[in-house]
Structure 1
């Protein structure tokens, strides 16, 4: 066989596709292929490593796969393998053409029509998917394809496919390599070719060493996962390069052979030649240069390690994910086992006292990563356990001093001493004869936790340089963990504030039924300033409020809580809508110049069948008419946002009919960056008019039509949605009388109230209602500036009675003394009514009270005692 040469460039431009493990002379192809001596050469080729799960989806995608197929890992993982990778069993194009009597294509000729992917009919029975049982044995081959990035130049790809069995269900391992440069020398016979095949690893010299190097084929996998797959690969057959079906060379991965390997070999040869020549100066110079090269290589290796770990741990603010990434980066590159412990308060997202920890401090074991046999650590040091640290241990000393603790080798005596401090766990098998490094996880002079790194006895012990590298690793990890801790703490506080602020909306009130939805922002966290509220007002009226504080976070949520409280307070006092917004504007200006908010305030009167609306820079509402099912955007004065100051607010009165629906929302539902808000408003009108079986279904329809269309990538703002069905009040459930401000009218009012209650079937409330009406009306007649006095009785979910007069002074509940002649009227109302209150009504006032509407009490049996 001619000399095998490779054409795959290394990271620095040199050719590294193959080199002999031992520098042997180039062999000539013998007459009898069977007489070939076993070769120790290994074909070093850049490998693409892919794992496909039982559903046919890519679950592992190496850097080599990205280079070969042009897709990054985040683009490939989770996608069907057959869509992105033509390695599902394409047969050898050259073999196919040979069987047909045609010449094989020249891969260097980009115009050859035979190049490119084969038709589906040309595939063998190797399928990715749930039915992986069709692939019971490993298979291999080659195919032609064009690289998506390299000007679509043709590539001759070799591939090996293994069926995998074990934890995680049926899977398939795919190894692929660019074989374009893997060809014999030009002066070889034209029949020479390279193919992908399999062979038992024992067919080669140094089989044990070859088996140890097999896990290198599976980069970026956990040791346990890589070990299981490597065992199956050894059992099914080692991937080899087959030369003209006569010589097989085992494949070892080429992740890039740096030039310092060649440089080191040259320095070693120079030192040997100097020793042979007895040139002491040359020997010293060569050894000094070699030592410098080794130190440089070691420093570069540590910098690359720290850089890789830093890139991993800085990608998330999740504590568990960050620690998992650190552990996977450390094992097995820096250590053979690593355990990470955090303060219990850090895991719980709570604050803790500054200063060093105490012996009673609880430490939570967050992660354990190792390359030992599965299950060895689980029973002794289970993940998720919280424990204290004995004082006379390296772990506690590391926590107190905040400095790394290096134990080059844990002796039998030291292992026994450490294990004796832990009564419930026998740690000796895990610690004895190993090298140990304990690293504190600190940030801003606060100890958050620590990491315990161990190396096997057959590996070099940790040294001072390792301690320095570990300290830098721990410092970077501690800073990331502290950022994650502070973020988690702030998020917890904001969530608590957010959960405490939203109102408990009453779904059903007199003549009105409501439904609400709230969606947190997807990019800036769920804490925002959007809110909605429904407030019961005197006269069976209902205030409907939707607001949006500009910005996100704790400050916005806090301002939202203050504004909502102010709205409820002013609404309970009977303040007119325009004055409510004026009061909010004054409050916002007192809070600070940077506080701005929009608000839409509506008052529904079911008796008068009308809506009063006032707007402060908010999205206009949609009114869906029950008569024709049409949704219309109400034309309201826009107004300026709350907090601007010195602007006027106007009120619009809109007549409504029973069954109409009012839809109010914040701009997060209809406004998306880069789109006209008019499109969102039109979609809101259309979706709001869609018929629904219930109010909840109607809200869900709107959310699906608008918010779901932009979530989660485009929607960045909170969404608050309030829908109200305006049911109205039947005329037969409302009774209104007007009386002159004369004491004689009180008797007439009592009689009319009793008669109306009897006609409503509420005679069991007559005595109490008659007494309460008498007390309130008497006060109104006595203190009214002028008449008339209006009495209104409303039958709804409760019996409501309102007495309205023109007196400007609101009555106050007093604690009357025994000798006082007046002041007991409101005390009687407060004692007998379910609820009562006073409010402004124009230039006068209204005193109202409610009574529960329950079934009439049964008449007592004759002779019974009450």
Structure 2
């Protein structure tokens, strides 16, 4: 903006906003302090990606600069709603219905000119809450003092335009967040079904109240002869792109697993597919091939944390897994390890958000998990509830996906023979 415009706005800033400026005549005496106040009001708008918060910041800035009170009439379709985010004395504001009618009669939001009028002898001002071709409502100001000056109206229009720009970003963020959330929920709601001889429970906890979802996921793929492939994966990053890549990994996994390959060969093919796509994000992954008839568990990992095993007496230990690179690097080199899985033991697969904490070594984090104790005979659902509670996973800084599985013997099951 031009220097003369800034100087004119500074001139009309209230002295109370200028931190005690004692210049005479409302001129440019104490201009640095007045410019500082202008910057402070403008910087206080758009501190979050939340529309309601931005509207509140705008009305507080408007009431502070011009005195009296300020509120927002939000635009919904072609109409304006009642007052929101009121700041200052509500009695200084005109009736909301009359303010809306005045704004619409003046051509808002198509016409961006501030409208001056009076109500009950008090001055009022309507300023469009718009940026470019996007219109979000009207800023309404009222006070007991004299009419709003042209310079005040111009300054309030500047703040309203700044707020509208942040509202545009907030709505775009909300759309992306909602889309990613819908995709994540749809994918989490449709896990594969394990065989009836395996009890499985899954928890997915997104980090933060408004955090974008990430690429954490769980899967169960039914194989021949009563076997099930359990999977936990974590695509690097957050948001819609991570969720889309997670879906791609998950789809590829289902296709590859149908060939009934050993876990390390499944990872090798997943890595080849991901490495061939330049835009695919890397991901960590852990596969657990469960064969209840043989009490056999085969695991393979791609840059992922090892699984935990809860024994029959309720103690927890980590199972060793050969270390392999994350998927999408093209390095390959995956290996499998085989363990025994008894019918009264519980297998737990998880993403790093479950255990990792800021400033803590990962080995310490894993020891905290290994230190958990469980009541003998606890169901897989109660096991997950205990883990989530004791590790305070609902307040984790990263997304959390965790899967618990236990062999559930069925009468009449015939053990398969080794091929």
Asked if 1 retains the 8 angstrom alpha-carbon contact of 2:302 and 2:326, the reply is: yes
| Offset, 1:569 | 2.3
**Match 1:442 to one of 130, 133, 138:** 130
| Offset, 1:257 | 4.8
Q: What is the aligned partner in structure 2 of residue 405 from structure 1? A: 114
For each residue in 1:94-113, what CA deviation from the matched residue of structure 2 results, as whole angstroms up to 9, or x when unmatched?
xxxxxxxxxxxxxxxxxxxx
Q: 1:447 to 1:301 in 2, by over 3 A?
A: farther
Matches within 5 A, 1:756-775: none
Q: What is the aligned partner in structure 2 of residue 330 from structure 1? A: 62
Q: 1:717 to 1:479 in 2, by over 3 A?
A: same
Please, which runs of 5 or more residues in structure 2 have no aligned partner? 1-15
Asked if 2 retains the 8 angstrom alpha-carbon contact of 1:691 and 1:698, the reply is: no
Q: What is the aligned partner in structure 1 of residue 89 from structure 2? A: 371
Q: What is the aligned partner in structure 2 of residue 610 from structure 1? A: 296
| Offset, 1:594 | 5.8
**Match 2:74 to one of 338, 342, 348:** 342
Q: Secondary structure at the match of 1:316?
A: coil
Matches within 5 A, 1:444-523: 444-456=132-144, 459-505=145-191, 509-522=195-208
Q: Distance in 2 between matches of 1:468 and 1:256?
A: 22
For each residue in 1:238-265, what CA deviation from the matched residue of structure 2 results, as whole angstroms up to 9, or x when unmatched?
xxxxxxxxxxxxxxxxx975443xxx4x
Q: What is the aligned partner in structure 2 of residue 734 from structure 1? A: 414
**Match 1:716 to one of 376, 397, 400:** 397
Q: Distance in 2 between matches of 1:603 and 1:700?
A: 24
Q: What is the aligned partner in structure 1 of residue 39 from structure 2? A: 307
Q: Distance in 2 between matches of 1:553 and 1:692?
A: 38
Asked if 1 retains the 8 angstrom alpha-carbon contact of 2:344 and 2:406, the reply is: yes
Q: What is the aligned partner in structure 1 of residue 49 from structure 2? A: 317
Residue 677, structure 1, aligned to residue 352, structure 2: no
| Offset, 1:526 | 4.0
| Offset, 1:475 | 2.1
Q: Distance in 2 between matches of 1:531 and 1:372?
A: 49
Q: What is the aligned partner in structure 1 of residue 223 from structure 2? A: 537
Please, which runs of 5 or more residues in structure 1 have no aligned partner? 1-218, 221-254, 265-290, 346-360, 411-430, 737-789, 791-840, 843-866
Q: Distance in 1 between matches of 2:140 and 2:317?
A: 66
For each residue in 1:706-727, what CA deviation from the matched residue of structure 2 results, as whole angstroms up to 9, or x when unmatched?
244xx74xx4221111111123
Higher relative contact order (CA 8 A, sep 6+): 2
Residue 641, structure 1, aligned to residue 358, structure 2: no
Q: 1:258 to 1:527 in 2, by over 3 A?
A: same
Q: Secondary structure at the match of 2:359?
A: coil
Q: Distance in 2 between matches of 1:688 and 1:304?
A: 58
| Offset, 1:587 | 1.9
Q: What is the aligned partner in structure 2 of residue 826 from structure 1? A: none
| Offset, 1:560 | 0.5
Residue 658, structure 1, aligned to residue 339, structure 2: no
Asked if 2 retains the 8 angstrom alpha-carbon contact of 1:341 and 1:367, the reply is: no
Q: Distance in 2 between matches of 1:542 and 1:636?
A: 18
Q: 1:593 to 1:475 in 2, by over 3 A?
A: closer
Q: 1:568 to 1:463 in 2, by over 3 A?
A: same
Q: Secondary structure at the match of 1:401?
A: coil
Q: Distance in 2 between matches of 1:381 and 1:654?
A: 75
Q: 1:697 to 1:506 in 2, by over 3 A?
A: farther
Q: Distance in 2 between matches of 1:688 and 1:516?
A: 19
Asked if 1 retains the 8 angstrom alpha-carbon contact of 2:19 and 2:37, the reply is: no
Q: Secondary structure at the match of 2:354?
A: coil
Q: What is the aligned partner in structure 2 of residue 419 from structure 1? A: none
Q: What is the aligned partner in structure 1 of residue 3 from structure 2? A: none
Q: Distance in 1 between matches of 2:135 and 2:34?
A: 25
Moved more, 499-508 or 588-597: 499-508
Q: Distance in 1 between matches of 2:159 and 2:93?
A: 27
For each residue in 1:103-141, what CA deviation from the matched residue of structure 2 results, as whole angstroms up to 9, or x when unmatched?
xxxxxxxxxxxxxxxxxxxxxxxxxxxxxxxxxxxxxxx
For each residue in 1:481-512, what CA deviation from the matched residue of structure 2 results, as whole angstroms up to 9, or x when unmatched?
22222222222222222222214347874221
| Offset, 1:363 | 3.2
For each residue in 1:275-328, what CA deviation from the matched residue of structure 2 results, as whole angstroms up to 9, or x when unmatched?
xxxxxxxxxxxxxxxx5xx32259678645533432432322211122123223
**Match 2:273 to one of 578, 587, 591:** 587
TM-score by length of 1: 0.43
Residue 630, structure 1, aligned to residue 318, structure 2: no
Q: Distance in 2 between matches of 1:683 and 1:512?
A: 27
Please say which structure displays the higher CA radius of gyration. Answer: 1
Asked if 2 retains the 8 angstrom alpha-carbon contact of 1:340 and 1:367, the reply is: yes
Q: Distance in 1 between matches of 2:104 and 2:366?
A: 69
| Offset, 1:519 | 1.7
Q: 1:435 to 1:310 in 2, by over 3 A?
A: same
Q: Distance in 2 between matches of 1:723 and 1:392?
A: 59
Q: What is the aligned partner in structure 2 of residue 699 from structure 1? A: 384
Q: What is the aligned partner in structure 1 of residue 105 from structure 2? A: 393
| Offset, 1:562 | 0.9
TM-score by length of 2: 0.84
Q: What is the aligned partner in structure 1 of residue 253 from structure 2? A: 567
For each residue in 1:536-577, what CA deviation from the matched residue of structure 2 results, as whole angstroms up to 9, or x when unmatched?
222221111101111111111110111112212222343332
